[in-house]
Amino acid sequence: MDPFLLEALLNGVLLGGVFALPALGLNLVFGVVDVVWLCYAELVMVGMYTVWFLYTQAGWPLVLACAACLPLVACLGLALHWLVVRPLLTAPPINQVLATGGVLFVLQGAATLVFKTDFRSLGVDMPPMELGEVFISGTKLIAFVAALVGAGCLWAFLKFTYVGTAIRAIARDREVMPLMGVDPRRIYLIASGVGGTLAGLAACLLVVQLDVHPFVGLSFGPITFMICVMGGLGNMLGGFIAAFMMGMIISIGGFYGSTEMSYVIAFGCFILMMFIRPQGLFAR
Amino acid sequence: MSRTVPFAIALAALAAIPLFGPPDYVLHLLITATLTAIAGTGWAMMGRFGLVSFGHGAFFGAGAYTMALLWNHLGVSPWLGIPAGIIVAVCAGVMLGWPCFRLRVVGHYFALVTLAAGEIVRLLVTALREETGGSLGMTPNRVPLEHGFWAMQFGKAGFWWLVLGCWVVALLVWWALDRSMASKALAAIAEDEDAAASIGIRVTREKLKVTVLSVALAALAGALTAQYRMYLSPESVSGLGVSLQIVFGAIAGGMYAPLGPTIGAVLTIGLDESLRVFFGTEMTGAAPFFYGILLVLFMLFLPRGIAGLLERKVR
């Protein structure tokens, strides 16, 4: 097999791992609270700036900077839910989406005001690893493994804890659960916090691979929404598989053509899929 | 009838503005605001019936790029290029809308599909960099002043009249739609699709009608904007950013009243300019920051926009 194609395939898998985390977080929020956080990628952007600032400006160790990023973005998620989403829970979907779209502008604008439009790089790089004839970037591999671990933790949380069970249940049927003694407001808040934490984790993984700038969210945000819906709401495994599929499409498309065209194909696949299986690829 | 007279007087007054020789800056603001108003009016036609599109940037850009490419590569005048751009955008809109409506892609999902469509156009424009100049953008070829009319390149006054005319057309379209059965049908569909279908409303057809109108206006606004600025790039005429800006104007002004999007456009441009004047170019992030806060506040406290507030006052 052509080693370059093999490399593209492997990169597709690694890219999928990076897409998977934000898509899972979004999936959780969308599935449980039934509101699309249009600004999700911007939460990730804030997290990326946090890590960048703490590491390069304040001189913290990278691990500590990442550890600080998680609770911060989680709090941002909670604040977003408390201040913006909660008052709009009974409003038409359009108002909810547009309000989170407003938050997108706020975060982008704030980032531009504080950090200007420069591209900021963490400047961390590791030597590529050699596997036979194929080279893999070490940072990407670590990010991939961390994404797997993060997704595993999320799965365990949803599967084995009481709160996790309640979250899954409310995603199934939001009318019945309150009758069973679960307070949906609390569950919504927890889901938003977990969603924020995942955005923070995604930020830690992305900041080592991408330069941060105020509009970085627009580069991976839309694809995250697509993955989240393709996987099927409330379907963690489906989300993960969808992320790998998108990663593959983009990586292989980029190998044969240009990166833009591969994204065009990915978005085209999403639109087609919405027509054929709107409930998600892996819906029961 | 009682409304026609004041409207005609106001229109005549607006049309007469260039005759008093105002500074170019004032005309520039008026033109920019009116262009935003046309796009916003188009968006609100769909938006007020629950068809939230985040892809209007796609149609805005399709109109702009079709016109500019025809002019630069084939020498087709923008007077023909703009209708061609509208046709291209409408075809794209129908290609996207028909399966969406047919297969009942609604609500959040419709918004996400249109978002993907907007991204596709932005990426296509970037990918076809041989023709479009990619993300660096392109400039329509300039012609000597005496051939300016054919190339739709004339001074600010000429543009103001052109844009004003298009704005009136947009309002007339809104008015005609409002008086037609289609708007009743669409209101019913927005309320409950199944119930509407059960009383014999052709859901797909009615939605397609309003989509065509809405997309055509977005494409018109896009082409005119590109022609006025004499510059177009994927980020400035297409993609999620542009889509959200169109949406913001329409929402802030109020998407349920014909003049709402126009009020919103004036507010948007006014905000933009005053921030620029007060803070200078140093504070480039200030405008989106305040937009965002206003958008959230509007959604929380005033979802019907300023026009909605005024209507309540009048009643």
Segment B276-313, tens digit of pLDDT: 787 766 666 777 888 889 889 988 888 888 888 887 77
Q: Report the predicted TM-score, pTM, of the whole model to 2 decimal places.
A: 0.85
pLDDT score of B238 more than 80 = no
Domain presence at residue B144: yes
The residue segments making up the domain with residue B163 are 23-239
Q: What is the pLDDT of residue B281?
A: 65
Contact A263 B289 (CB under 8 A): no
Range 122-151 of B in CB contact (< 8 A) with A: 123-124, 126-127
pLDDT category of residue B115 using cuts at 50, 70 and 90: confident
**Could you please report the per-residue DSSP string of A86-98?**
GGGTTS-HHHHHH
pLDDT digits (tens, 9 = 90+) for B2-16: 678 888 888 888 888
Helix (H) / strand (E) containing B241: helix B240-253
Question: Percentage of chain A surpassing pLDDT 70?
Answer: 97
The DSSP secondary-structure symbol of B70 reads: I
Token readout for A134 is 């194929």
pLDDT category of residue A276 using cuts at 50, 70 and 90: confident
- Are A233 and A29 in contact by the 8 Å Cβ rule? The answer is no
The shortest CB-CB distance from B47 to any of A94, A101, A264 is to A94
Token readout for A106 is 């706020």
**Chain B residues with CB-CB distance to A258 below 8 A:** 127
pLDDT digits (tens, 9 = 90+) for B47-56: 888 888 888 8
What is the pLDDT averaged over residues A27-53? 90
Residue listed under structure tokens 């998680």: A70
How many Cα atoms occupy the beta-carbon half-sphere of A167 within 13 Å?
31
Nearest alpha carbon to residue A46 among A17, A77, A18: A77
pLDDT score of A45 more than 90 = yes
Domain presence at residue B183: yes
pLDDT score of B130 more than 90 = no
Domain presence at residue B74: yes
pLDDT digits (tens, 9 = 90+) for B63-104: 999 999 999 888 888 899 999 999 999 999 999 999 998 888
The DSSP secondary-structure symbol of B146 reads: G
Domains of chain A, earliest start first: 3-115+140-276 (1.10.3470)
Nearest alpha carbon to residue B38 among B265, B280, B210, B195: B265
What is the pLDDT averaged over residues B210-214? 94
Domain presence at residue B279: no
Q: What is the pLDDT of residue A1?
A: 63
pLDDT category of residue A283 using cuts at 50, 70 and 90: low
B190 touches chain A (CB under 8 A): no
Q: What is the pLDDT of residue B315?
A: 62
Q: What is the mean pLDDT of chain A?
A: 86
Nearest residue of A to residue B53, measured between CA atoms = A94
Q: What is the pLDDT of residue B2?
A: 65
Three-state DSSP class for residue B75: coil
Nearest residue of A to residue B121, measured between CA atoms = A264
- Total domain count, chain B: 1
